[in-house]
A = this chain, B = another copy of it.
Amino acid sequence: MLLNIIKIGGNVIDNPVFLAKFLKDFASIGGQKCLVHGGGKVATQVATKLGVETKMVDGRRITDQAMLDVVMMVYGGLINKQIVSQLQANRCNVIGLTGADGGVILAKKRPVKTIDYGFVGDIESVNADFIENLLKQAITPVFAPLTFDMAGSMLNTNADTQASAVAVAMATKQETQLIYCFEKKGVLSNPDDDESVIESINPAYYESLKSQGAIHSGMIPKLDNAFAALNAGVKRVIICHADELQNALTTGLAGTKLVL
């Protein structure tokens, strides 16, 4: 059975109307599926109110102990449970998970090289049996972007990477498709033109777009994660607008398809 691993980005989560629509669409997808959600701006807002300074390096959050508490609260508590309760209301039986729950995603704290990212986790392993067991019970996992280290600490983890790691682990068990949903229509050949959606992209074309500067900043780790997933056995990767999830899954005529 085809398994869809769907990642929803922070910009959609930040807008209650967009999020509600997306969750309704997600709930209506037939078959087996997992959701991985990002963080959104709420963590930064809560941190500011709590007097915790937000420090970003290359779009990545520096996570000291105080910021770890904030992301545990916002990602693991507020956002995850908002999504879980709304999906239950849409009659989609879900379970909210961080990596620590059921020991499902083990990570290790990123070693300090030039930058100390703090409590940031690099994924070491995903327990595919545990996920498979939930799916067999018709329970849909909803992952918050948090992992753990088996030494007593939670770790902040990039949601795109987490979605890719879950897809790769599940691809050892069944046919798996990875869909990144965000606020753009797909990968753009011209970042200033929202309509310049690339229908299909392979590694060579990706390299050429990167060298031209057409793809930059946040899109690079997303595409790196996506190609890594394809290389590791995930059948298909699609990057599309959150509004087009259903089109992407049914007609395939939405967003950007990644191919090898």
Contacts and interface: CB of A to CB of B under 8 A. Distances in A.
A184 interface: no
B88 A82 contact: no
A84 B98 contact: yes
Contacts of A72: 77-78, 81-82
Contacts of A148: 84-85, 88
A146 interface: yes
Interface stretch (A43-51, A158-166, A168-176): A43-51
Contacts of A76: 76-78, 80-81
Interface in A61-98: 69, 72-78, 80-82, 84-86, 88-89, 93-98
| Candidate in A72, A84, A88, A97 with the most chain B CB atoms within 10 angstroms | A88
15 contacts: A49-B49, A49-B51, A72-B78, A72-B82, A73-B78, A76-B81, A77-B81, A81-B100, A84-B100, A84-B148, A88-B100, A89-B152, A93-B102, A96-B98, A96-B101
A153 interface: yes
A88 B153 CA distance: 9
A142 to B, nearest CB: 9
Interface of A: 46, 49-51, 69, 72-78, 80-82, 84-86, 88-89, 93-98, 100-103, 133, 137, 139, 146, 148-154
Contacts of A139: 102
A54 to B, nearest CB: 16
Interface pairs A-B: 7 shortest CB-CB: A77-B77, A73-B73, A89-B152, A76-B77, A73-B77, A95-B101, A95-B102
Contacts of A89: 150-152
A81 to B, nearest CB: 5
A101 B97 CA distance: 9
Contacts of A97: 95
A153 B82 CA distance: 7
A139 to B, nearest CB: 6
